[in-house]
Structure 1
Amino acid sequence: MKILILLLPFICLISCVGKQDQESVAMNVDLMAAHPSPSRVALQDGDISRAVPTQKLIKEGFVEFETSDVEKTKAQIMAATSANNAYISSDKQNNVADKVSYTLIVRIPASKFDSFLNSATKDVRYFDHKQIDVKDVTAEYFDVETRLKTKKEIELRYRELLKKASTIKDILSIETELGTIRTEIESAEGQLKLLADQVQYSTLRIEFYKITSTPAVFTYQLSSAFSKGWENLLTILILAVDIWPFILLGIGLWFGFRKFAKRKSVKKEADMTI
Structure 2
Amino acid sequence: MKNYLKQWAALALLCVLAGLAGCSTHGRDIGAAAAESAAAAPSAPVQGKASGRLLVWTADFSLQVQDMGKARSQLSERMLALGGYVEEKSDYGDYSQSFVFRVPADAFETALGSVEQSGKVLSRHVKGEDVTEQYVDVETRLQNNIALRDRLKELLGKARDIQDILQIESELNRIQSEIDSMQARMRILKDQIQMATIRVELRQQEAPKPATIYGPLGYLYKGTEWFVTKLFIIRE
TM range (shorter): 0.7 to 0.9
2:18 aligns with: 40
Which of 88, 91, 115 matches 2:89? 91
Letter in 1 for 2:27: S
In structure 2, relative to structure 1, the CA distance for the partners of 1:214 and 1:44 (3 Å cut) is closer
Root-mean-square deviation (CA, aligned residues, Å) is 2.2
Q: Do structure 1's residue 132 and structure 2's residue 126 form an aligned pair? A: yes
Relative to structure 1, is the Cα distance of residues 100 and 45 closer, same or farther in structure 2, using a 3 angstrom cutoff? Answer: closer
TM alignment of 1:162-173, pairs within 5 A = 162-173=156-167
Deviation for aligned residue 1:211: 3.1
Tell me if structure 1 keeps the 8 A contact 2:74–2:118.
no
Taking the TM superposition and a 5 Å limit, the aligned residue runs for 1:54-133 are: 54=35, 55-95=53-93, 100-124=95-119, 126-133=120-127
Larger radius of gyration: 1
Q: For 1:193 and 1:25, locate their aligned partners in 2 and report how far apart those are by CA, in whole Å.
A: 39
Deviation at 1:129, TM superposition (A): 0.7
**1:183 counterpart = 2:177:** yes
- 1:25 equivalenced with 2:3 (yes/no): yes
Figure out how many residues of one structure are paired with residues of the other and give that number: 190
User: Gaps (5+ residues) in structure 1?
Assistant: 1-22, 217-274
User: What is the aligned partner in structure 2 of residue 11 from structure 1?
Assistant: none
CA distance in 1, matches of 2:20, 2:150: 18
**Counterpart code for 1:122:** Q
**Aligned match for 1:152, one of 146, 150, 154:** 146
Structure-2 separation of matches of 1:57 and 1:185:
24
The residue number in structure 2 matching 1:271 is none
| 75-84 or 140-149, which deviates more | 75-84
**Counterpart amino acid of residue 197 in structure 1:** D
CA–CA distance in structure 2, aligned partners of residues 180 and 41 of structure 1? 18
Q: Which is further off, 44-53 or 61-70?
A: 44-53
Q: Output the CA distance in 1 between the equivalents of 2:206 and 2:121.
A: 19
Q: State the SS of the aligned residue for 2:83.
A: coil
| Residue type of the alignment partner of 2:3 | V
Identity %: 26
The structure with higher relative contact order (CA 8 Å, sep 6+) is 2
Superposition map of 1:249-268 within 5 A: none
Distance 1:132 1:64 in 2: 12
**187, 203, 212: which is aligned to 2:206?**
212
Partners of 1:200 and 1:115 lie apart in 2 by 15
TM-fit CA distance, 1:206 = 0.6
What is the distance in 2 between the residues matched to 1:29 and 1:38?
A: 14
Provide the secondary structure at the position in 2 that maps to 1:58: strand
Q: Counterpart of 1:101 in structure 2: which amino acid?
A: S
The residue identity in structure 2 corresponding to 1:143 is D
SS in 1 for 2:160: coil
Q: CA deviation at 1:212?
A: 3.5
Contact 2:16 / 2:144 at 8 angstroms: preserved in 1? Answer: no
Q: 1:214 to 1:198 in 2, by over 3 A?
A: same
Question: Matched residue of 1:36: which SS?
Answer: helix
Shift of 1:73: 1.0
Give 1:149 deviation, angstroms. Answer: 0.8
1:220-264, CA deviations, whole angstroms, 9 ceiling, x for partnerless residues? Answer: xxxxxxxxxxxxxxxxxxxxxxxxxxxxxxxxxxxxxxxxxxxxx
**Stretches of structure 2 lacking an aligned partner (at least 5 in a row):** 36-52, 211-236
Decide which structure has greater helix share.
Answer: 1
